Amino acid sequence: MDNGPTWAAKLAQTIDHTLLKATATEQHIATLCAEAVQYGFATVCIHPVYVPLAAKWLSDTEVGVCTVVGFPLGTNTTGVKSFEAGAALADGADEVDMVLAVHALKNKRFDQVRSDIAAVVTAAERAPVKVILETCYLSKAEIQRACELAVDAGASFVKTSTGFGSGGATVEHVALMRQTVGEHIGVKASGGIRDGQTALAMIQAGANRLGCSAGVAIVSGLTPDGGPSEY
């Protein structure tokens, strides 16, 4: 009897299979795309320069193409971020992960933070925009404020980290983000998720999307009937 998707398959559907190293080659991206199709990941998450290739290779599959904007510091001007988002969509991207204007948040320029996100949301048209907060640099109060601003600006997700900061996703921060945004938008945990136990902990804390460079290892480490092999 078919009992439906295994835990591994369900978890795979939440994963943005990620490769954002500066040294990534076309062959690396080809492998990433092939793995995403094989394991049923939600998207591949790549730099804008590789969006046209990935969109071509994944055109007849269920795997989406996600790219990054204002990456990894978020210090680009709003005009640059907007242009980058629009160009990525024109090249075939399906989703955009933009980095929050952390500097503006730290300076308490909240209207600037909101308008920066809103401009990218507009440029991305109907494509989901995930706002990367880089939580390792923020206080709890700043995380909450950033989440509120992202919701106000029309973002589809809030995301913990770029993976290039001083720390990645934590269960505490994911839970706080989910508590703040409620069920209105998604929460993406990213950075430092390298095994099934950690991945499932993020899901249980409230994440409904995961950014992972170790997606294959994560889903391969799950037992056929359920949770990670460590359980």
Q: Which residues are catalytic?
A: 97, 159, 188
Count of beta carbons in the 10 Å neighbourhood of residue 123? 23
Contact assessment for residue 102 and residue 72, using Cβ atoms and an 8 Å cutoff: no
Report how far residue 82's alpha carbon sits from residue 99's, in angstroms, rounded to the nearest whole number.
12
- The alpha-helical segments, DSSP class H, found in the chain are 7-12, 26-39, 51-57, 78-91, 102-106, 110-123, 140-153, 171-181, 196-205, 215-220
- The alpha-helical segments, DSSP class H, found in 124-195 are 140-153, 171-181
